[in-house]
Structure 1
Amino acid sequence: MGVEIERKFLVDQKAWEKLEKPEGLHYQQGYIPSDDNCTVRVRIAGVHGYITLKGRTKGISRSEFEYEIPLADAKAMLDQFTQNGTEKIRYKFPAGNRVWEVDEFLGPNKGLVVAEIELEDEHEVFEKPTWITDEVTDEMRYANSNLAVRPFLEW
């Protein structure tokens, strides 16, 4: 069984604007209606399609199953089955023995920049780049599935 152990942080906007960034990848994702025990996400990342099932979060961990699917299928699922979604550019920054994934949101979430780090253990110690600010791991409004329903620009 796949397990996602993830912490999420806000990014300092001024530092972000000055930061030399690697090439980002465009993400479009939508959510298939489900319940509190499972989130079903369809994602297009560049030219690849994915379907992901995520279980209920316990602490900073949850079960996660992600599978690559044909791009045409991902597009059809987004069109036919999702009611809401998010769009963003994702950047990857190596730091120590981990990689920070930084999402610069577009559309109704424009202006929000969030950094995530996936860990091997909930208590793992990791390096934080200087452009990382407040931790928002436990603030559900920053979950992508929630941003799809209640966008940042509506807060």
Structure 2
Amino acid sequence: MSIEIERKFLVKNQAWRSLAVGTPYRQGYIANSQGRTVRVRQVGNQGYLTIKGPSQGNSRFEFEYPIPLEDAQFMLNNLCNPPLIEKQRYKIQAGELIWEVDEFFGENQGLIVAEVELTEENQIVELPEWIGQEVSDDPRYFNVNLSTYPYSQWTEGNSM
């Protein structure tokens, strides 16, 4: 059993761009109910099936399994609710931590979010200079919610 502990932040400048090469991601959701999700993801030439439990603070149970690429593509195209999440992910080492910067495309074009996985809920995190406002507690920035309420549909001051 795996527990995912992560924090999310907006990115405030372009200083991160020269620090890593990105990998294309396509992902979609087969199920989303009461904080539980079943996600299909294509990362480069590999497919994954992920099951996540409800969040408790910044933590939640996560089970991820590699699946054949053809299966992932079929599920993305035929079983997942549109729109799919399209993004480029950059993995950047900063101190002891690896930051994942997601640059979104498609319906979420213009959104750039950085997240960091932690080993414990209260772990102290030294923020790189390109990290901006924390959005860990804002459900609009959860990928599952970006698939149902894309960034392109947001207006200032609105909420889900």
- Same fold by TM-score, threshold 0.5 exceeded? yes
Residues 16 and 130 in structure 2, CA contact (< 8 A), matched pair in contact too: no
**d(CA) in 2 for partners of 1:18, 1:144:** 21
Give the partner amino acid of 2:92: F
1:50-81 Cα shifts (integer Å, max 9, x gaps): 00000000000000000010000101111221
Q: Match for 2:73 among 72, 75, 94?
A: 75
1:38 Cα deviation after fit: 1.2
**d(CA) in 2 for partners of 1:40, 1:52:** 6
Q: Match for 1:39 among 37, 40, 45?
A: 37
SS in 1 for 2:33: coil
Segments of 5+ residues of structure 1 without an aligned counterpart are: none
1:60-108 Cα shifts (integer Å, max 9, x gaps): 0000000010000101111221012210000011011110000000011
Summarize the alignment of residues 46-85 of structure 1 with structure 2, pairs less than 5 Å apart. Answer: 46-84=44-82, 85=84
Is the aligned partner of 1:86 residue 2:111?
Answer: no
1:17 Cα deviation after fit: 6.4
Give the partner amino acid of 1:10: L
1:19 Cα deviation after fit: 3.7
Say what the alpha-carbon RMSD is for the aligned residues.
1.2
Give the partner amino acid of 1:153: S
SS in 2 for 1:153: helix
1:114-144 Cα shifts (integer Å, max 9, x gaps): 0000000000012211010000000000000
Of the structure 1 ranges 50-59 and 34-43, higher mean CA displacement relative to structure 2 is found in: 34-43
Distance 1:33 1:18, change over 3 A: closer
Q: Which residue of 2 aligns with 1:100?
A: 99
Q: Which residue of 1 aligns with 2:128?
A: 129
Summarize the alignment of residues 2-13 of structure 1 with structure 2, pairs less than 5 Å apart. Answer: 2-12=2-12
Q: Which residue of 2 aligns with 1:149?
A: 148
Of the structure 1 ranges 32-41 and 114-123, higher mean CA displacement relative to structure 2 is found in: 32-41
Give the partner amino acid of 2:2: G
Of the structure 1 ranges 82-91 and 28-37, higher mean CA displacement relative to structure 2 is found in: 28-37
**d(CA) in 2 for partners of 1:153, 1:94:** 30
Give the partner amino acid of 1:145: V
Give the partner amino acid of 1:89: Q
Of the structure 1 ranges 32-41 and 130-139, higher mean CA displacement relative to structure 2 is found in: 32-41
Give the partner amino acid of 1:23: V
The alignment covers a number of residue pairs equal to 153
1:35 Cα deviation after fit: 1.2
Is the aligned partner of 1:25 residue 2:23?
Answer: yes
**d(CA) in 1 for partners of 2:22, 2:139:** 25
**d(CA) in 2 for partners of 1:115, 1:150:** 19
TM-score by length of 1: 0.95
